[in-house]
Structure 1
């Protein structure tokens, strides 16, 4: 009851979650603790995928679950890769292959037209059926070549004007201060804190369903 399962096997993403949740007094588990659980993300939107993951994990573990579906939307590509961000270069593709495909598709596109944004949909699902969804966004530009060695995914080619560097050049603390996931988490924390109150018997008032 005092645990939350973060519905991911991505260790880079899990590390970020643990830092962002360090002030929430619960045990943080992940799908690495439940290796037999596989979730097919076949939704057409970030919200659908996040909801699919959270509901499936709650169903199989009986434990509160926090999932996210995040992706990159590039203006010059009509919003692609979108929900296909993690598999942009095909099934089983890694970060390097995805970045290479992205830069190839943007070949010849000038700097001022390489606007992009990261989108995060967070879903918190409870065993009693309550579900909460929050969103976060980070605006930036796609660079012409990778820069930096921190982070994961498309971080090396995502330039953040307010940082003056790519996400892969930023420290974890800098990234967590501005990232799409961190911004969604700031909104989600009111639901997480209410969950903690109920677990520890503080008698917090019931949260109204988010309506999602």
Structure 2
């Protein structure tokens, strides 16, 4: 059994990768998170793009643990905000990881934007770095529209205000397995499956 480190403390992200690994039949892989390995100093996310942050986090994780590691950087890019919050999505309100404050700030910033200009996309870049130094970097994007009122309790972050194209529900109203099939993170993680097959 090969251990695969997902460099996150987010239980929902871990659950998502575990579901994808199971769905793809990759029985030779055991997905672990940062809580399952000895702690190491994590560099701050200072790159100007998702790719830079994801690769840096995965390289740090491999160097510290010796395990093949996946790291992702993701966020929401709002058309009316010129693609922001983007890489700053998790700390848009000034406090890292305060989902509630971040969501309220974005809703406030687009309050006067008409419905036809409320387009947005979730972006996820995932990097797989192996102890050999080999790197695979993939990107997933999920287009949609920002609704005016939060809806749903599944998911996290900006999910309650993001309605994917072709959907009447927000991503927080979708079932986890449904979301895995179409979401930015699901797309990115599944794009890593060929490389993970070789590991397994």
TM-score, with length taken from structure 2: 0.94
Flag the structure with more relative contact order, 1 or 2, with Cα contacts below 8 A and sequence separation at least 6. Answer: 2
CA RMSD of aligned residues (A): 1.2
Question: Which ranges of 4 or more aligned residues in structure 1 deviate by more than 6 Å?
Answer: none
In structure 1, runs of 5+ residues without a counterpart are 197-212
After superposition, where does 1:42-61 map in structure 2 within 5 Å? 42-61=46-65
Q: Which residue of 2 aligns with 1:114?
A: 118
Match of 2:156 among 144, 152, 166: 152
Deviation of 1:122 (Å): 0.8
Deviation at 1:36, TM superposition (A): 2.0
Matches within 5 A, 1:63-74: 63-74=67-78
Map of 1:13 onto structure 2? 13
- Aligned equivalent of 2:165, options 134, 150, 161: 161
Q: Does residue 173 of structure 1 match 2:177?
A: yes
Q: Secondary structure of the equivalent of 2:198? A: helix
TM-score, scaled to structure 1: 0.89
With over 3 angstroms needed to count, the CA separation of the structure-2 counterparts of 1:195 and 1:151, relative to structure 1, is same
Larger Rg, first or second structure (1 or 2): 1
Q: Determine the C-alpha separation between the residues in 2 that align with 1:93 and 1:180.
A: 19
The question of 1:88 aligning with 2:92 is answered yes
How many residue pairs were aligned?
196
Residues 180-212 of structure 1 show CA distances to partners (whole Å, capped at 9, x for unaligned) of: 11111222111111122xxxxxxxxxxxxxxxx
Structure 1 residue 31 and structure 2 residue 26: aligned? Answer: no
What's the CA shift string for 1:5-48, capped at 9, x where partnerless? 00101112111111112132211111111362242211111000
- What is the DSSP-based 3-state SS (H/G/I as helix, E as strand, rest coil) of the residue aligned with 1:4? strand
1:31–1:37 contact (8 Å) kept in structure 2: no
Stretches of structure 2 lacking an aligned partner (at least 5 in a row): none
Deviates more, 1:29-38 or 1:95-104: 29-38
Query: Could you give the per-residue CA deviations for residues 49-71 of structure 1, whole angstroms, max 9, x where no partner exists?
Result: 00011000000000000111111
CA distance in structure 2 between the partners assigned to 1:161 and 1:119 by the alignment: 14
SS of residue paired to 2:55: helix
Which residue in 2 is equivalent to 1:208? none
CA distance in structure 2 between the partners assigned to 1:16 and 1:61 by the alignment: 22
